[in-house]
Structure 1
Amino acid sequence: MAAQDDLQGTAPLELSHRICVTGEAVVDFNGELDVTTAEAAVSYVSDLVDRHCGPMIADVTALAFCDARGLAALARMAGYAEQKGCLFRLASPRPLLVK
């Protein structure tokens, strides 16, 4: 799935996932998580939580940019997963994202 706003000239956000043999679902974020892509990302992850019902890992290694709306989206994803009884964690956040 890709979310992109051509009018703003932002880089697309590419989302993909895989289910590990350990049972964890890993969502790969590639691109920019911002005001133009946040809702699509929340929808993607929420749908996966509903279908998977197990631990979730958001791999943000390839996340090039994340604004305040992107951070709020990650918090919403975590909250939704927690509400459904699923562990949610970030993998490989860059120092600026952690800050």
Structure 2
Amino acid sequence: MEHNDDAAGPGAAVVRVSGELDIDRAPALRTELNDAIASAPDSADVAVDLSAMSFCDSSGLNALLGARLHAEEAGHLLRLVAPSAQMVRLLEMTGAIHVFTIDPAPPA
């Protein structure tokens, strides 16, 4: 996982996720997302670039859902960017697709 505060434009924060997001990697994602939210300027979006993620299980989804709430409480919008078909299916099956803002293309 990689956190870059300027990749999505001035003031925006981006966390890039690659590989599998499962029970072993979910705690690291939580930490990265919390850091991104804490360091994002007032009301800036926090983008989670999923374009290089190959798989997500329920623990990964749980980390994303928790971060969405944390971001909202801190005055930020957490956006999921370029999710795979598997991730979209997981979001649809759980009903979580309705609580996230989803962007089709990764940030520059």
Q: How does 1:65-84 map to 2 (within 5 A)?
A: 65-84=55-74
Greater helix content: 2
Q: TM-score, normalised by structure 2?
A: 0.72
CA contact (8 A) 1:60 1:93 kept: yes
2:54 maps to 64
Query: Percent of pairs identical after alignment?
Result: 33
Q: Number of aligned pairs?
A: 86
Q: TM-score, normalised by structure 1?
A: 0.78
> 2:37, 2:3 → 1: CA distance?
13
Alignment counterpart, residue 77 of structure 2, candidates 76, 81, 87: 87
Greater strand content: 1
| Deviations 1:33-80 (CA, angstroms, capped at 9, x unpaired) | 110110111111101211123210000000011111111111111111
- Quick one: structure 1 residues 60 and 41, their matched pair in 2 at CA, closer, same or farther if it must change by over 3 Å? same
The answer to whether structure 1 residue 52 and structure 2 residue 37 are counterparts is no
Alignment counterpart, residue 36 of structure 1, candidates 15, 21, 24: 24
Question: Where do 5+ consecutive residues of structure 2 fail to align?
Answer: 90-108
Question: Where do 5+ consecutive residues of structure 1 fail to align?
Answer: 1-13
Q: Which amino acid is the alignment partner of residue 60 of structure 1? A: L
> 1:50, 1:32 → 2: CA distance?
25
